[in-house]
Amino acid sequence: MNLPTIALLATGGTIAGSATAATDTTGYVAAALGADALLAAVPAITTVARVRARQVYSIDSKDISSAHWLTLARAAQEALDDAAVAGVVITHGTDTLEETAVFLDRTLDCRHKPVVLTGAMRPATALSADGPMNLYDAVCAAAHPDSAGRGVLVCFNRLLLQGATVHKRHTSALDAFGPGEAGPAGHTGPVRYHAPAWQRPAPQALPRDAESLPRVDILHVGAGMPADLLEYAVQRGARGVILALPGNGSLPEPWHAPVARAVAAGVRVVRATRCGNGNVSAHHIDQQCGSTAAGPLTPAAARIALMLDLLADHC
């Protein structure tokens, strides 16, 4: 059979997790199994694609750094540039999958081939582990001609979500990922999309010698909280700060002067929302303090966008 070749890039996470008991879904070791073990658990994949597996790293995604994103982006681009490869699947821990999805969505040239991220909420050793079905669906999506031109996709619990807007919304549920306001891009079982592929901006080229990204911190701002942490972040060398603020990015009065001082010192300050959904619009406070509005980006996505902007400024 003439099956498409899919490059599988494995990075660890719960999908590769192992526990001592099949009933244990929390006390397990993430990133314990390799790519070959994940594939061996899903023989049906061999009817959909020829999979070429590569272990890029094995990590619990809470420990991912910007150096890991750069390594992964280079591995994914190399696979995409290989004429024999029809699409790329990346297995990843769910805890920071949304950050990796945004980073790859902005940096990979995947206009003509799909890139699909997936993971699992239960370790591979669990009763009713969700990883095998997620992996199968991700390979089906990466092998499907309609998946190209949609940027990086996240395949989870039978949904296809846009990597640019996906967010983890639950600590343990199998449908842990929400699509953002745009709703899901499509479904699997079989693969189908709700709208045609869309025009996308050109990807941001990564400098060959970049080993890390500029430091950008996220501060979650609670009612009545002083701005000391902003001052500390600036002192510690943050080049940008994302404020996860109440409501429509509402900046509490005691934060006005510290934000203005940070901006005057060359630090980019972005107003985002802690609401989880919705747009943060430009406001006259931005003229007063020098901040900018995150628009539709979550704090995590706004952080990646700002890290990449700062990297581009540096080049």
CA-wise closest residue to 143 among 107, 102, 121, 114: 114
CB of 62 to ligand SIN, least distance (A): 6
- Least Cβ distance, residue 152 to ligand SIN (angstroms): 17
Burial class (CB in 10 A: 0-12, 13-18, 19+), 136: buried
Examine residue 118 and tell whether it contacts ligand SIN (CB under 6 A): no
Least Å distance, CB 121 to ligand SIN, is 6
Q: Residue 183, Cβ neighbours under 10 Å: how many?
A: 13
Supply the angle between the helices 299-314 and 97-107 in degrees, to the nearest 10. 40
Of positions 6, 7, 9, 30, contacts ligand SIN by CB under 6 A: 30
- Nearest-approach distance from CB 254 to ligand SIN, in angstroms: 35
Which phi and psi angles does 152 have, rounded to 5°? Answer: -75, 135
Stretch that binds ligand SIN, among 56-64, 126-134, 226-234, 290-298 (CB under 6 A): 56-64
Assess whether the previous peptide bond of 190 is cis (omega < 30° from 0).
yes
Q: Which of 94, 107, 118, 273 binds ligand SIN (CB under 6 A)?
A: 94
Stretch that binds ligand SIN, among 37-45, 65-73, 90-98, 295-303 (CB under 6 A): 90-98
Among 70, 95, 132, 152, binds ligand SIN (CB under 6 A): 95
Going by DSSP bridges, is the β-strand pair 177-178/167-168 parallel, antiparallel, or unpaired? antiparallel
Q: Under the criterion CB under 6 A, does residue 90 sit at the interface with ligand SIN? A: no
Given a contact cutoff of 8 angstroms between Cβ atoms, the answer to whether 166 and 175 are in contact is: no
Alpha-carbon torsion angle 241, 247, 251, 255, nearest 10: -70
Look up 171 and say whether it is catalytic.
no
Nearer CB in complex with ligand SIN: 99/286: 99
Residue 166 touches ligand SIN, criterion: CB under 6 A: no
Contact positions vs ligand SIN (CB under 6 A): 12-14, 30, 60-62, 93-95, 119, 121
Report the catalytic residues: 14
